[in-house]
Structure 1
Amino acid sequence: MTDGLTGRYAGVRAAVVGTGLIGGSVLLRLADAGLDVAGWDPDPATRELARARGLAAPATIEQAVAGRDVVFLCGPLPTLAGTLAQLATMTAPGCVLTDVGGTKSEVAQVADQLGLTDRFVPGHPMAGAESPGLSAASAALLAGAAWVLCPAPGPATDAFRWLTGLLVELFEARVVPLSASAHDSAAALASHVPHLLAGALAGAAQRASLRETVLALAAGSFRDGTRVASTPAKQVANMLLGNQARVLAELTEVQEFLDGLAAALRAGDPAALTARYEEARAARSTLLDRRFTGRDQQFPADGEHTAEVTWLRGLGEAGGHLTGCQVGADTVSYSASLPLAD
Structure 2
Amino acid sequence: MCPVPNGDAEVGRLAGSAGGPARAAVVGTGMIGGSVLLRLRDAGLDVAGWDPDPATRRYAREQGFACPDTVEEAVADRDFVFLCGPLPSLPGMLSRVAAATDEDCVLTDVGSTKAALAAFADTRGVGHRFVPGHPMAGADRAGVASASPALLDRAAWVLCPDPAGVVAFRRLAPLIIDVFRARLVPMSPTQHDTVVALSSHVPHLLAGALAGAVQEAPLRDAVLALAAGSFRDGSRVAGTPAERTANMLLSNRERVLEELTRVTDYLDKLAGAVRAGDAEALTSRYRAAAAARTVLAGRNFASRERAFPVAGDADAEVAYLWELGAAGGYLSGCRVDAGTVSYIAHLPADAGPV
Q: TM-score, normalised by structure 2?
A: 0.94
Q: CA deviation at 1:101?
A: 0.4
Indicate the residue corresponding to 2:179 in structure 1: 170
* Corresponding position of 1:237: 246
Structure 1 Cα separation of the partners of residues 332 and 274 of structure 2 = 45
Q: Which residue of 2 aligns with 1:2?
A: 7
- 1:124 counterpart letter in structure 2: H
Q: In structure 2, which of residues 145, 157, 170 is the aligned counterpart of residue 135 of structure 1?
A: 145
Residue 249 of structure 1 aligns to which amino acid in structure 2? E
Aligned residue identity for 1:123: G
Give SS of 2:26's match: strand
Is 1:261 the counterpart of 2:261? The answer is no
Distance in structure 2 (CA, Å) of the matches to 1:330 and 1:295: 20
- 2:290 matches 1:284: no
Q: What CA deviation, in whole Å up to 9, does each residue of 1:165-219 have, x standing for no partner?
A: 1111101111101000000000000010000000000000110101111111111
1:212 has 2:221 as partner: yes
Over residues 99-122 of structure 1, what are the superposed CA-to-partner deviations in whole Å (9 max), with x where a residue is unaligned? 000000010001000111111000
Q: Deviations over 1:254-298 (max 9, x none)?
A: 000000000000001111111111011000110011110001001
Structure 1 length normalisation: TM-score? 0.98
1:89 corresponds, among 90, 99, 114, to 99
Tell me the distance in 2 between the aligned counterparts of 1:195 and 1:69. Answer: 35
Code of the residue aligned with 1:263 in structure 2: it is G
- Whole-angstrom distance in 2 between the partners of 1:8 and 1:71: 14
- 2:7–2:177: 8 Å Cα contact kept in structure 1? no
How far does residue 304 in structure 1 lie from its aligned partner after superposition? 4.0
How far has the Cα of 1:303 moved from its partner? 3.1
Q: Could you tell me which of 115, 134, 152 is aligned with 2:125?
A: 115
Counterpart in 1 of 2:80?
Answer: 70
SS in 1 for 2:342: strand
The alpha carbon displacement at 1:329 in A equals 2.1
**Which stretches of structure 1, 4 residues or more, deviate above 4 A after TM superposition?**
none
Q: Is 2:154–2:180's contact at 8 Å kept on the other side of the alignment? A: yes
The match for 1:157 among 135, 150, 166 is 166
Tell me which amino acid in the other structure corresponds to 1:210: L
Residue 146 of structure 1 pairs with residue 152 of structure 2: no
In the alignment, the residues of structure 2 paired with residue 250 and residue 284 of structure 1 have an alpha-carbon distance, to the nearest angstrom, of 18
* Amino acid across the alignment from 1:6: G
Amino acid of the structure 1 residue aligned with 2:13: G
What residue in structure 2 maps to residue 37 of structure 1? 47
Alignment partners' CA distance in 2, 1:229 and 1:7 = 41
SS at match of 1:290: coil
Residue type matched to 1:53 in 2? Q
Distance in 2 (alpha carbons) for counterparts of 1:248 and 1:191: 13
Letter in 1 for 2:158: V
Structure 2 residues not aligned, in runs of 5+: 1-5
Shift in Å at residue 56 of structure 1?
2.0
Structure 1 counterpart SS, 2:163: coil
Deviations 1:45-88 (A, max 9, x none): 11122222222221111111011000000000011000011112
SS at match of 1:159: helix
Distance (Å, rounded) in 2 between the aligned partners of 1:146 and 1:140? 13
CA distance in 1 between counterparts of 2:56 and 2:222 reads: 38
Where do 5+ consecutive residues of structure 1 fail to align? none
